[in-house]
Structure 1
């Protein structure tokens, strides 16, 4: 937990606050200015005057949300006023942008008059694509939201109500499934009758819980039919026919407890009286109604969630509002209705049952995260939430008739969402789509490895590849079952008892007998070294590509492939490259992994092979042959080698855009290139960088990865007769999936 000074420093140091406005179009020349403002800006104005919906086409309205508050119920701080609440509203903007690429203006209104607030927000409608009401106290918040929904034609959503309700409802569905109880039979007690509590109770009823099995409590006790003290019309709608008068009375035989009240409101004694396998969501912040350790000390069978990040099953609104608005904005929805909220609930509940990416595990110190009592709700930093919730919400908007711009191709929409998460995902999706067009058999010698198995689930589910696992079938099947994967139909081959083993031994001995291999060694390698067996499978056509290295050193994987499959005819050796992805650029670095001190001929091969690989990713290659000199400015054996390599590339691949020798900054600086070297084929926009030796290439890609924040895809092995790629020990499931897609596309081209 951070201390007070940490929080103050975070907000005050450097540029004040947490947000800024940036431009999305150039404004560097007089022409840019004439288009951005006068006179060019008149044209879109006139188009919008003719057709108001064109505002979504020519302005940022369609991706802009107002976070509106009057500061009357800010977090756990209460009524601190609109201005004091501004840091929270800025924070909301940060979350919208970070998680779903939704732009936000925070609007703090200095009024407690509900009608004045309603009128003000209504007047803002031309500016925004949606309204997120925030930190407005109840019961005024109910009235404000209901009235705005009546008079506005853009979505209005009070997150304090519905966000908490949606996340807790998703967790409730999964908890009920785990304990084997039907929704309609469950009894629920909601403690706290403010915005969140009433919304939780209403959504639980919408989810199927019998209204007669819902008891709402506030500081005065049970809200029952006939009660007059502390009532309002919103509490009255949920008043129960019950003899219970206190929270303690209500908890007897209850299946579910939702707490949005205060620290310690649920006592251990109350918990003891709940039904078997009680479900407790103690969501008071920062201190829950009962802590998980205290609850588990009383009931071992309790399933518990809180609003805190230091306990499992965190009910965090960030799982909802960015993605709900993303789907609403992308369909130009006129409202956020119950159907869209339910779609959000179900999408979150289903996502929690899927295998969790390594990126999420790493964010939570590598802890085991698996659907069950301790994992009912996706983690807040799970990048898949955007890809599951936004499309579900968009589909619900279309199905319920509030979408004014239906999404015609949901698969392409998901790809667009994926691209929001980084250029590497966008680029890899291009390759994955190619792989899916004709999936190939990818052999995994490390068949029992958890990451490999989890990657295979993705490959099978998405139809990217046909995995073949090597190893003991009984052990692999047991591992699949333990990981709760659906890989019953996957091919598993045990080299120890394979029917092809003798054939492979004979073939290997014939291939290597004049290179020092004995029959006994051939038998040992094929039988006990799965990298050799896998390479032989690909060599003999029983597999299309080989992928290994998660639990082996680089040479252990590449040596068998070189001995059995070998390099392509006409090449001096194989080469390695990495695709480096930043927010603005996609580039290729080579050789970064194989050739330590290349000759000019080997450098030329590297350049041509890497350029060919770039085309696989639908990138037009522009090759810079790097050195410490520019076009003869320094005469040295190292620079002369690069100069000769450039000449060879021009000779062997005359249509390829390539130049050198040149320094790296020149290769990336159009103005410098034009001013100093106007004769160059490159115009300062290189995207394939061929380094003069492995040392410089390896250092450069790792520096760019760590200091420049670039994502790397690789190593990509080039020049083999058949596709072989080497994984790294630190690779996660996504890396393995990416490299499998690369291998499949290589196999497609090899068989074309």
Structure 2
């Protein structure tokens, strides 16, 4: 596992910080490989200064893509008055799990002022979900300063002090950028073949350029090769590593038509009808996944949700033990990830279907590193209310517990009792889920769609999805308003689903 450090300092003490970095590098090298990385090396500093939020993902990627036993991150330092240097560095540290060291030259400062400076710095770091691991002070001052929450380390550094820094446990925190970067890293670790049936959309071509350049997945387009490659050249994109398959390719067409006719034989589909049907790009792409010519499909930038997912219902079908296909949105909150289901597919699930949605949502959450604690939402908590809607959720919770007894699950439960430990202590004091829920199952599509959009818009959360679940093989739907970043993330999560 890589351990990362970033040394930060007040504006007027860069020399002291440089000395800290040099000593740290020397002592770390005794125990493993050490690499220093400048996260802004390949960025336009003027653009970073004027658009720091847009530059931050690239800086985070530069750090996370640097591999060694120890990585020392050069702090961003742009001499522009309006640029929030500390804020940018805190955000970068939070999304790269970097230990922050405050290099503080204390000449002329009393111990009380030094203690206050450290406290203010730690509070500011925490507001960005970052963690101040230690304050590095001159030896003469270090012995006079005490801090309850931050380690005080003397300069010159000792090997014992560095060992202690390496063993600092960072608070559990997943920022949106960290989660998205983690998706990319996991997808790259075992590259899968993802089919994109909409190369006529420039966003899809731009996403493919990035996916291929970053080694996230192998890309297969469905379309006319000359047209697709010419358009990519016009956009100055490199998709040379992508495969392009035509729906009129006789080898694929006949194989897919025969199999589709077999699958739909009971519906009376003839081989001639099958040949026409599989020429539709959504059906063709789904057949590629079904027959093992691709590992997953991402579509919907230029097609409706129904056009994207109906073929998967007919061809790929549900996984063993699952009664229906459903969806979750992965909600990237400020410091954690929640899963919301079902917000996109099933309008009014029965209790049996709601139970399956809960179990599928928990499995999906676990796939993406979220420990599932399932809250089956209602307007009532426990036995405090009554009515047909509450009884349906209670029955769904009973069925889900019966099917997956190992799953931490609570329901019916209100949203506040699911997320707020104070409310939970009053309403369900003995529940292992109340106040700590991570997977939220809404009683209907109406409630789910409203719920995820309300949280997204009111909190600034990033909504990744919808992620389809319950299929034998992964197919995922894009919003027709999807950004290039959304397409890249969806390809990465589809690849991760394919791993399983």
TM-score w.r.t. length of structure 2: 0.71
Match of 2:473 among 700, 722, 741: 722
The superposition leaves residues 525-578 of structure 1 with CA deviations (integer Å, 9 ceiling, x where unpaired) of 212x10000001111111110110000111010111111111123322101110
The residue number in structure 2 matching 1:525 is 277
Deviation for aligned residue 1:672:
2.2
Q: Does 1:381 align with 2:51?
A: yes
Q: 1:626 aligns with which of 363, 366, 377?
A: 377
Provide closer, same or farther for how the CA distance between residues 723 and 416 of structure 1 changes in structure 2, counting only shifts above 3 A.
farther
Equivalent residue, structure 2, for 1:495? 247
Per-residue CA deviations over 1:410-451 (Å, capped at 9, x if unaligned) read 9xx998575579822211222322211111110111123211
C-alpha separation in 2, matches of 1:593 and 1:667: 22
Match of 1:312? none
Q: Return the alpha-carbon distance in structure 2 between the equivalents of residues 482 and 613 of structure 1.
A: 39
Structure 1 CA distance for aligned equivalents of residues 245 and 236 of structure 2:
21
Based on CA coordinates, which of the two structures has the bigger radius of gyration? 1
> Match of 1:568, SS?
coil
Asked if the contact 2:397–2:409 (Cα under 8 Å) also holds between the matched residues in 1, the reply is yes
Aligned position for 1:474: 226
Name which of 343, 348, 351 aligns with 1:597.
348
CA contact (8 A) 2:57 2:177 kept: no
In the alignment, structure 1 residue 641 sits paired with structure 2 residue 415: no
Cα distance change, pair 501–330 in 1 and its aligned pair in 2 (3 A):
farther
Answer yes or no: is the 8 Å Cα contact 1:588–1:614 preserved in 2.
yes
Equivalent pair of 2:212/2:241 in contact (CA under 8 Å): no
Distance 1:662 1:546 in 2: 35
Cα deviation code 1:620-644 (max 9, x no counterpart): 1111111111112222111111111
Structure 2: which 5+ residue stretches go unaligned?
Answer: 26-37, 75-88, 97-127, 130-173
Structure 1: give runs of 5+ residues left out of the alignment: 1-56, 67-120, 131-151, 156-327, 334-342, 352-375, 396-404
Distance 1:548 1:391, change over 3 A: closer
Q: Which residue of 1 aligns with 2:336?
A: 585
Structure-2 change in CA distance of 1:386 and 1:681 (3 Å): closer
1:407 partnered with 2:270: no
Q: Deviation at 1:385? A: 3.5
Paired residue secondary structure (1:685): coil
SS in 2 for 1:348: coil
How far, CA to CA, are the matches of 1:551 and 1:407 in structure 2? 42
Aligned equivalent of 1:463:
215
Q: CA 1:444 to 1:662, structure 2 compared with 1: closer, same or farther past 3 Å?
A: same
Contact 1:457 1:485 in 2 (8 A): yes
The question of 1:153 aligning with 2:16 is answered yes
Contact 1:415 1:426 in 2 (8 A): no
CA distance in structure 2 between the aligned counterparts of 1:640 and 1:696, rounded to whole angstroms: 17
SS in 2 for 1:588: strand
State the match for 1:445 in structure 2. Answer: 197
Aligned length: 391
Whole-Å separation in 1 of the counterparts to 2:303 and 2:443:
28
CA 1:153–1:377: 2 relative to 1, 3 Å: closer
**Partner in structure 1 of residue 8 of structure 2:** 63
Q: Counterparts of 1:274-423 in structure 2 under 5 Å?
A: 347-348=42-43, 380-381=50-51, 383=53, 385-386=55-56, 407=71, 416=93, 418=95, 423=175
**1:742 has 2:437 as partner:** no
Match of 1:431 in 2: 183
CA RMSD of aligned residues (A): 3.4
Q: Work out which structure has the larger RCO, using CA pairs closer than 8 Å and 6 or more positions apart in sequence.
A: 2
Please give the secondary structure, in 1, of the residue aligned with 2:10: strand
1:507: Cα distance to partner?
A: 1.4
**Distance 1:416-1:483 versus aligned 2 partners, 3 A rule:** farther
Contact residue 362 and residue 439 of structure 2 kept, 8 A: yes
Question: 1:731, 1:717 → 2: CA distance?
Answer: 16
Give the whole-Å Cα distance in 1 for the aligned partners of 2:251 and 2:61: 47
- 8 Å Cα contact 1:590/1:610 also seen in 2: yes
1:677 aligns with 2:428: yes
Alignment of 1:704 with 2:455, yes or no, is: yes
Distance 2:71 2:51 in 1: 26
Give 3-state SS (helix, strand or coil) of 2:186's partner. helix
| Partner SS for 1:659 | strand
Report how far residue 384 of structure 1 moved: 5.7
- Secondary structure, aligned partner of 1:576: strand
Q: Any idea what SS the aligned residue of 1:521 has?
A: helix
TM-score by length of 1: 0.48
User: Counterparts of 2:403 and 2:94 in 1: how far apart (Å)?
Assistant: 41
Q: 1:505 to 1:436 in 2, by over 3 A?
A: same
Distance apart, 1:498 and its partner CA: 4.2
**Counterpart in 2 of 1:652?**
403
SS at match of 2:321: coil
